[in-house]
Structure 1
């Protein structure tokens, strides 16, 4: 895959149209986070809730599950010959998107 076509709207299509540019063009990490703001806020709230109510160990388990999911998604994207940057952005967006499927 050519590097100029990676990290584009075509490969990272999990965010709302208002956060992404109108066409296939490179996007930055801030745009990725802005498009994923709701899942980030929800999971930050869940982590704070489990830390206060239950135990820090529960929060560490949730963090470990997120890290494991990110690692698997990153590895799968790298095996599909995406660049490191595209793999990181796509894995982060994909994990946040799929984790919000139940809400």
Structure 2
């Protein structure tokens, strides 16, 4: 699935100097809405499991209304699908290599201090 146009020279320069790259409008709004709805659903499930002491894969840190979910990929296939999203893959190959190592899949929802 290699793509010779991504990343562009300017994207590569930005990434090399900042360590990240924002890809504006990469996902359709409808996809973002589906992901956010699922995230809030999973967040509520994880918070309830923490209260009951019935946690599953991955830790959940709760600080008031703020929630950090570790290893969210196991919570729903929607999150797992994001790992090799076709729109992102050319960037992964361009910035890293064709066989990248997955390190973390956390979700952080913060409403303030």
Structure 1-normalised TM-score? 0.35
Structure with more strand by fraction: 2
Structure with more helix by fraction: 1
Structure 2-normalised TM-score? 0.33
